[in-house]
Structure 1
Amino acid sequence: RPVLALEAWAGRVDTRMTDMSRVRYDDHRLVHDMLLQQIALQREPHEMRNRMTVLEQERDRRER
């Protein structure tokens, strides 16, 4: 009986460890996705400014 109890306990511990590992992975994935989104949001204004600069330069060249 003690062996069965130990095996049952070990099984529960393994299940909990697996569940915790999945939760940590999900958390890590969420943080990763949020960082990618933040980078994309930071790039958009920068790319827009660059595009505006190019358009202004093209306009200035045409006006000369």
Structure 2
Amino acid sequence: MAFDSIKVFAIDTNSGIFIGTNRQGNWSSASNNKSGFGTVKGSHNHTKRNINIFKDDDMIDTPIKKINYK
């Protein structure tokens, strides 16, 4: 199999581009994202003086367990 090109439009947490015969050992990722703005629809809309309040009662959002790779 051959590629003429590879186009990448976004790279985010826990992303990778691997080409050919390869191995990604000892690879891990943990993340937690929150977004609270929402959407604005229509033409010529503007937002000003926004205040976003996010209440998060969790003590631990993303518990991470360390793994010993050998």
Q: TM-score, normalised by structure 1?
A: 0.17
Bigger radius of gyration among the two: 1
For normalisation by structure 2, the TM-score amounts to 0.16
More helix by share: 1
Query: Which has the higher relative contact order, 1 or 2, with Cα contacts under 8 A spaced 6 or more apart?
Result: 2
